[in-house]
Amino acid sequence: MSSTPSFIETLTGAWQRTNSLLCVGLDPEPVKFPGALANRPEAIFEFCRAIVDATAPYASAFKPQIAYFAAHRAEDQLEALIAHIHERHPGLPVILDAKRGDIGSTAEQYAREAFERYRADAVTVNPYMGFDSIEPYLAHAGKGVIVLCRTSNPGGSDLQFLETGGRPLYQVVAQLAAEKWNASGQLGLVVGATFPKEIEIVRQITGDMPLLIPGIGAQGGDVEATVRAGRTAAGAGMMINSSRAILYAGKGDDFAAVAARAAQETRDKINAYL
Protein backbone atom coordinates (compact mmCIF):
# COMPACT_ATOMS: atom_id res chain seq x y z
CA MET A 1 0.00 0.00 0.00
CA SER A 2 1.31 3.44 -0.94
CA SER A 3 2.18 5.82 1.88
CA THR A 4 1.54 8.80 -0.40
CA PRO A 5 -1.62 10.65 0.69
CA SER A 6 -4.52 10.50 -1.74
CA PHE A 7 -5.98 13.57 -3.38
CA ILE A 8 -8.90 13.65 -0.93
CA GLU A 9 -6.57 13.24 2.04
CA THR A 10 -4.30 16.00 0.77
CA LEU A 11 -7.21 18.32 0.06
CA THR A 12 -8.82 17.68 3.44
CA GLY A 13 -5.52 18.37 5.16
CA ALA A 14 -5.08 21.59 3.19
CA TRP A 15 -8.56 22.82 4.16
CA GLN A 16 -7.78 22.25 7.82
CA ARG A 17 -4.22 23.54 7.81
CA THR A 18 -4.78 26.71 5.78
CA ASN A 19 -8.27 27.57 7.05
CA SER A 20 -9.08 28.27 3.41
CA LEU A 21 -11.44 26.96 0.73
CA LEU A 22 -9.85 29.16 -1.94
CA CYS A 23 -8.47 27.54 -5.07
CA VAL A 24 -6.23 29.87 -7.09
CA GLY A 25 -6.63 29.35 -10.81
CA LEU A 26 -3.51 29.78 -12.94
CA ASP A 27 -4.53 31.09 -16.37
CA PRO A 28 -1.44 32.96 -17.58
CA GLU A 29 -1.87 35.47 -20.41
CA PRO A 30 1.50 37.01 -21.34
CA VAL A 31 -0.11 40.16 -22.78
CA LYS A 32 -1.27 40.95 -19.22
CA PHE A 33 2.11 40.43 -17.57
CA PRO A 34 3.96 43.45 -16.12
CA GLY A 35 6.76 45.02 -18.10
CA ALA A 36 9.53 43.36 -16.12
CA LEU A 37 8.52 40.00 -17.59
CA ALA A 38 8.14 41.17 -21.18
CA ASN A 39 9.88 38.96 -23.74
CA ARG A 40 11.44 36.71 -21.12
CA PRO A 41 11.59 33.11 -22.42
CA GLU A 42 10.38 31.66 -19.09
CA ALA A 43 7.89 34.46 -18.41
CA ILE A 44 4.89 32.16 -17.93
CA PHE A 45 6.70 30.07 -15.34
CA GLU A 46 8.13 33.12 -13.60
CA PHE A 47 4.76 34.87 -13.43
CA CYS A 48 2.92 31.82 -12.13
CA ARG A 49 5.68 30.95 -9.67
CA ALA A 50 5.49 34.44 -8.19
CA ILE A 51 1.70 34.18 -7.92
CA VAL A 52 1.92 30.74 -6.29
CA ASP A 53 4.54 31.76 -3.75
CA ALA A 54 2.61 34.91 -2.82
CA THR A 55 -0.85 33.35 -2.56
CA ALA A 56 0.02 29.96 -1.06
CA PRO A 57 -0.62 31.12 2.55
CA TYR A 58 -4.25 31.84 1.62
CA ALA A 59 -5.04 28.91 -0.70
CA SER A 60 -5.91 25.26 -0.28
CA ALA A 61 -5.31 24.30 -3.93
CA PHE A 62 -3.97 25.54 -7.26
CA LYS A 63 -5.61 24.96 -10.63
CA PRO A 64 -3.48 25.51 -13.73
CA GLN A 65 -5.53 25.57 -16.95
CA ILE A 66 -3.55 23.59 -19.50
CA ALA A 67 -4.68 25.55 -22.58
CA TYR A 68 -3.04 28.74 -21.33
CA PHE A 69 0.30 26.92 -21.31
CA ALA A 70 -0.08 24.78 -24.42
CA ALA A 71 -1.16 27.71 -26.60
CA HIS A 72 2.24 29.30 -25.94
CA ARG A 73 4.23 26.06 -26.29
CA ALA A 74 4.88 26.29 -22.57
CA GLU A 75 4.09 22.75 -21.48
CA ASP A 76 7.62 22.43 -20.09
CA GLN A 77 6.95 25.52 -17.96
CA LEU A 78 3.76 23.88 -16.68
CA GLU A 79 5.75 20.81 -15.67
CA ALA A 80 8.26 23.03 -13.88
CA LEU A 81 5.48 24.98 -12.16
CA ILE A 82 3.76 21.90 -10.77
CA ALA A 83 7.12 20.53 -9.61
CA HIS A 84 7.75 23.86 -7.88
CA ILE A 85 4.39 23.73 -6.10
CA HIS A 86 5.05 20.19 -4.87
CA GLU A 87 8.54 21.10 -3.68
CA ARG A 88 7.94 24.51 -2.13
CA HIS A 89 4.33 24.12 -0.99
CA PRO A 90 3.85 20.45 -0.13
CA GLY A 91 0.36 19.55 0.92
CA LEU A 92 -1.35 21.97 -1.47
CA PRO A 93 -2.94 19.86 -4.22
CA VAL A 94 -2.64 20.75 -7.90
CA ILE A 95 -5.70 20.28 -10.09
CA LEU A 96 -4.89 20.15 -13.79
CA ASP A 97 -7.83 21.81 -15.52
CA ALA A 98 -7.90 19.92 -18.82
CA LYS A 99 -11.55 18.79 -19.17
CA ARG A 100 -10.50 15.69 -21.07
CA GLY A 101 -13.20 13.46 -22.51
CA ASP A 102 -12.39 10.37 -24.56
CA ILE A 103 -12.52 6.59 -24.29
CA GLY A 104 -10.25 3.56 -24.16
CA SER A 105 -6.58 3.88 -24.97
CA THR A 106 -6.90 7.61 -25.68
CA ALA A 107 -8.24 8.28 -22.17
CA GLU A 108 -5.39 6.18 -20.80
CA GLN A 109 -2.92 8.50 -22.52
CA TYR A 110 -4.66 11.60 -21.19
CA ALA A 111 -4.48 10.10 -17.70
CA ARG A 112 -0.75 9.44 -18.12
CA GLU A 113 -0.31 13.01 -19.32
CA ALA A 114 -2.02 14.45 -16.25
CA PHE A 115 -0.63 12.16 -13.59
CA GLU A 116 2.73 10.95 -14.89
CA ARG A 117 3.99 13.80 -17.08
CA TYR A 118 2.59 16.74 -15.13
CA ARG A 119 2.29 14.97 -11.76
CA ALA A 120 -1.02 16.64 -11.01
CA ASP A 121 -2.96 15.51 -7.97
CA ALA A 122 -6.28 15.70 -9.82
CA VAL A 123 -7.64 16.40 -13.29
CA THR A 124 -10.94 17.70 -14.62
CA VAL A 125 -12.79 15.43 -17.05
CA ASN A 126 -15.87 15.64 -19.25
CA PRO A 127 -18.41 12.83 -18.63
CA TYR A 128 -20.31 13.20 -21.92
CA MET A 129 -18.99 9.86 -23.20
CA GLY A 130 -19.91 7.98 -20.03
CA PHE A 131 -18.09 5.93 -17.43
CA ASP A 132 -15.59 4.27 -19.75
CA SER A 133 -14.21 7.73 -20.49
CA ILE A 134 -13.60 8.26 -16.75
CA GLU A 135 -12.49 4.79 -15.71
CA PRO A 136 -8.88 5.03 -17.02
CA TYR A 137 -8.19 7.93 -14.66
CA LEU A 138 -9.35 5.85 -11.70
CA ALA A 139 -6.59 3.32 -12.41
CA HIS A 140 -4.11 5.85 -11.01
CA ALA A 141 -4.35 5.13 -7.30
CA GLY A 142 -4.98 8.11 -5.08
CA LYS A 143 -5.42 10.59 -7.92
CA GLY A 144 -8.46 12.87 -8.05
CA VAL A 145 -10.95 12.94 -10.91
CA ILE A 146 -13.20 15.99 -11.01
CA VAL A 147 -16.20 15.55 -13.28
CA LEU A 148 -17.98 18.40 -15.04
CA CYS A 149 -21.53 18.57 -13.70
CA ARG A 150 -23.15 22.05 -13.72
CA THR A 151 -20.73 24.44 -15.33
CA SER A 152 -20.57 28.18 -14.74
CA ASN A 153 -21.04 29.27 -18.37
CA PRO A 154 -24.52 30.27 -19.63
CA GLY A 155 -24.39 27.77 -22.49
CA GLY A 156 -24.02 24.90 -20.04
CA SER A 157 -27.81 24.86 -19.78
CA ASP A 158 -28.08 23.80 -23.43
CA LEU A 159 -27.34 20.22 -22.38
CA GLN A 160 -27.06 20.13 -18.59
CA PHE A 161 -30.68 21.17 -18.09
CA LEU A 162 -32.15 18.71 -20.58
CA GLU A 163 -34.59 16.43 -18.80
CA THR A 164 -33.88 12.73 -18.66
CA GLY A 165 -36.01 10.48 -16.52
CA GLY A 166 -37.87 13.53 -15.23
CA ARG A 167 -34.87 15.46 -13.97
CA PRO A 168 -32.09 17.59 -15.45
CA LEU A 169 -29.05 15.83 -16.86
CA TYR A 170 -26.66 17.50 -14.40
CA GLN A 171 -28.51 15.81 -11.53
CA VAL A 172 -28.12 12.44 -13.24
CA VAL A 173 -24.38 13.08 -13.57
CA ALA A 174 -24.18 14.01 -9.88
CA GLN A 175 -25.94 10.84 -8.81
CA LEU A 176 -23.88 8.60 -11.10
CA ALA A 177 -20.70 10.17 -9.77
CA ALA A 178 -21.76 9.73 -6.16
CA GLU A 179 -23.22 6.22 -6.39
CA LYS A 180 -21.69 4.30 -9.32
CA TRP A 181 -18.55 5.99 -10.59
CA ASN A 182 -16.72 6.77 -7.37
CA ALA A 183 -15.03 3.39 -6.97
CA SER A 184 -11.74 5.05 -6.02
CA GLY A 185 -13.29 7.42 -3.50
CA GLN A 186 -11.40 10.25 -5.23
CA LEU A 187 -14.13 11.84 -7.35
CA GLY A 188 -15.30 15.42 -7.21
CA LEU A 189 -17.68 17.53 -9.29
CA VAL A 190 -17.49 20.89 -11.02
CA VAL A 191 -20.48 23.10 -10.16
CA GLY A 192 -20.43 26.80 -11.05
CA ALA A 193 -20.85 29.60 -8.53
CA THR A 194 -23.16 31.32 -10.99
CA PHE A 195 -25.84 28.73 -10.12
CA PRO A 196 -26.07 28.53 -6.29
CA LYS A 197 -29.42 26.72 -6.34
CA GLU A 198 -27.87 23.95 -8.39
CA ILE A 199 -24.90 23.83 -6.00
CA GLU A 200 -27.35 23.17 -3.17
CA ILE A 201 -29.08 20.40 -5.12
CA VAL A 202 -25.78 18.74 -6.05
CA ARG A 203 -24.66 18.90 -2.41
CA GLN A 204 -27.88 17.14 -1.37
CA ILE A 205 -27.30 14.40 -3.96
CA THR A 206 -23.62 13.81 -3.31
CA GLY A 207 -23.19 14.23 0.44
CA ASP A 208 -19.66 15.34 1.32
CA MET A 209 -18.14 14.88 -2.15
CA PRO A 210 -15.77 17.79 -2.87
CA LEU A 211 -17.01 20.41 -5.30
CA LEU A 212 -14.78 22.51 -7.52
CA ILE A 213 -16.65 25.78 -7.84
CA PRO A 214 -15.51 28.25 -10.49
CA GLY A 215 -17.32 31.48 -11.25
CA ILE A 216 -16.64 33.92 -8.42
CA GLY A 217 -14.62 37.04 -9.16
CA ALA A 218 -14.55 37.92 -12.85
CA GLN A 219 -17.58 35.73 -13.65
CA GLY A 220 -19.70 37.38 -11.01
CA GLY A 221 -20.71 34.46 -8.80
CA ASP A 222 -21.94 35.47 -5.35
CA VAL A 223 -19.62 34.29 -2.60
CA GLU A 224 -22.21 34.22 0.18
CA ALA A 225 -24.74 32.27 -1.88
CA THR A 226 -22.03 29.87 -3.02
CA VAL A 227 -20.76 29.12 0.47
CA ARG A 228 -24.20 28.68 2.01
CA ALA A 229 -25.24 26.33 -0.80
CA GLY A 230 -22.10 24.23 -1.04
CA ARG A 231 -20.55 23.88 2.39
CA THR A 232 -20.63 20.56 4.19
CA ALA A 233 -21.65 20.11 7.80
CA ALA A 234 -17.95 20.34 8.67
CA GLY A 235 -17.69 23.72 6.95
CA ALA A 236 -15.58 22.49 4.06
CA GLY A 237 -16.20 20.43 0.91
CA MET A 238 -15.44 23.17 -1.62
CA MET A 239 -12.60 24.37 -3.81
CA ILE A 240 -13.87 27.85 -4.63
CA ASN A 241 -11.81 28.99 -7.58
CA SER A 242 -10.77 32.49 -8.49
CA SER A 243 -8.39 33.10 -11.38
CA ARG A 244 -8.33 36.47 -13.15
CA ALA A 245 -9.50 38.50 -10.15
CA ILE A 246 -6.37 37.36 -8.28
CA LEU A 247 -3.83 36.93 -11.09
CA TYR A 248 -4.37 40.38 -12.54
CA ALA A 249 -5.35 42.34 -9.44
CA GLY A 250 -2.14 44.29 -9.92
CA LYS A 251 -0.70 45.66 -13.15
CA GLY A 252 2.78 46.68 -12.05
CA ASP A 253 5.92 44.90 -10.95
CA ASP A 254 4.36 44.43 -7.50
CA PHE A 255 1.74 42.13 -9.09
CA ALA A 256 2.50 39.22 -6.75
CA ALA A 257 2.03 41.28 -3.59
CA VAL A 258 -1.24 42.68 -4.92
CA ALA A 259 -2.37 39.16 -5.85
CA ALA A 260 -1.59 38.01 -2.32
CA ARG A 261 -3.83 40.73 -0.89
CA ALA A 262 -6.62 39.77 -3.30
CA ALA A 263 -6.27 36.11 -2.31
CA GLN A 264 -6.35 36.96 1.39
CA GLU A 265 -9.43 39.13 0.93
CA THR A 266 -11.17 36.39 -1.04
CA ARG A 267 -10.32 33.74 1.55
CA ASP A 268 -11.58 35.96 4.36
CA LYS A 269 -14.78 36.73 2.47
CA ILE A 270 -15.43 33.02 1.98
CA ASN A 271 -14.72 32.29 5.66
CA ALA A 272 -17.11 35.02 6.77
CA TYR A 273 -20.04 32.88 5.58
CA LEU A 274 -18.96 29.50 6.92
- Are 260 and 55 contacting, i.e. CB atoms less than 8 angstroms apart? yes
Which residue type, as a one-letter code, is found at position 63? Answer: K
* CA 48 to the chain's CA centroid: 16
- Catalytic annotation present for 32: no
Which amino acid does the sequence have at 197?
A: K
**Cross-strand partners of 165:** none
Of the listed 32, 99, 197, 251, which one is catalytic?
99
Helix (H, G, I), strand (E, B) or coil at 100: strand
Query: DSSP letters of 191-239?
Result: E-TT-HHHHHHHHHHHTT--EEE--BGGG-B-HHHHHHHH--TTS--EE
Q: Where are the beta strands (DSSP E) in 89-210?
A: 95-100, 122-125, 144-150, 163-164, 167-168, 187-191
170 in helix, strand or coil? helix
Distance (Å, whole) CA 152 – CA 75: 26
User: Which residues are identified as catalytic?
Assistant: 99
